[in-house]
Amino acid sequence: MSPAQKRVAILISGGGSNMLKLVESMGADHPARPVLVLANDPAASGLARAAALGVATASVDHRPFGRDRAAFEAALLEPLLAAEPDILCLAGFMRVLTPGFVQRFAGRMLNIHPSLLPKYPGLHTHQRALDAGDAEAGCTVHEVTAELDAGPLLGQARVPVLPGDTAETLGARVLAMEHRLYPAVLRRFAAGDRTPVLLG
C-alpha cells in the first residue's frame, strides 16, 4: 500500500456484513486499505470471512475480563496498535468502550448504528421505531465520542417503514442501506472530507 493511504482497523462482534462491505470497498483508487479485523469474540464468523479476503485478523475474548473494561481494552490495544491504524471503524462491535479508549482515537473512530440518531441509541432500535409508529427508519455513521451512540454525524440513510413490517423485515431493509452508507462515508472520511453523506 502507498504511504498516502490510510490504514483502517475494523472492530466486529459477529458476522461482520458491514465489515465485509468496507473491506470490499477499499480497492483500486480508494484512499484507505484494511490492515486488521479485530473481534471481541474468537468465534465471530466475520473473522474467517475477513481472512478469506486476505485481511489480517485478531481476537481478544472480552469474557475473561468480566467487568474490567480497562483490562479488556489494554489487551485489545496490543494487536490494534501493532497494526498502526489511522482510522478505526466499529462495525457491529457490541462492547461499550471507555472514555480513555475513545480519547486515544479521538477524531479517527467511526461507528455505524441502526437508527436515525439521535433517535434510539442503544439496542432494539427497529422494534423501538415500530413501537413509536415512525414512518421512516434508517442508519447513522458518526464519529465516536465518550457518550454512547452520539458524536458528530458523518452520514445517514433513510428507509420507509412499510405496513406489516416486523423488526426483522425493517432490520433487513436498514442493513441493506448500512452496506451502502458505511463504505460511502469511509471513502469520504479517509480523503479528509467530513461532509455528511445523506442517502435515501
Residues that bind ligand GAR (CB under 6 A): 12, 14-18, 91-92, 112-114, 175, 178
Selecting among 113, 126, 142, 179, the annotated active-site residue is 113
Q: Which is nearer to ligand GAR, 10 or 80 (CB)?
A: 10
Which H/E stretch holds residue 101?
Answer: helix 99-104
CB of 92 to ligand GAR, least distance (A): 3
Residue 7 CB: number of other CB atoms within 10 A?
Answer: 16
Q: Answer yes or no: are the C-beta atoms of 35 and 81 closer than 8 Å.
A: no
- From CA 190, how far away is CA 60, in angstroms rounded? 26
Q: Is 113 a catalytic residue?
A: yes
Q: Which is nearer to ligand GAR, 134 or 178 (CB)?
A: 178
CB of 93 to ligand GAR, least distance (A): 7
Backbone angles phi, psi at 157, to 5 degrees: -130, 140
Q: Which is nearer to ligand GAR, 15 or 100 (CB)?
A: 15
Backbone angles phi, psi at 142, to 5 degrees: -140, 160
- From CA 186, how far away is CA 94, in angstroms rounded? 20
CB of 149 to ligand GAR, least distance (A): 7
Catalytic residues: 113
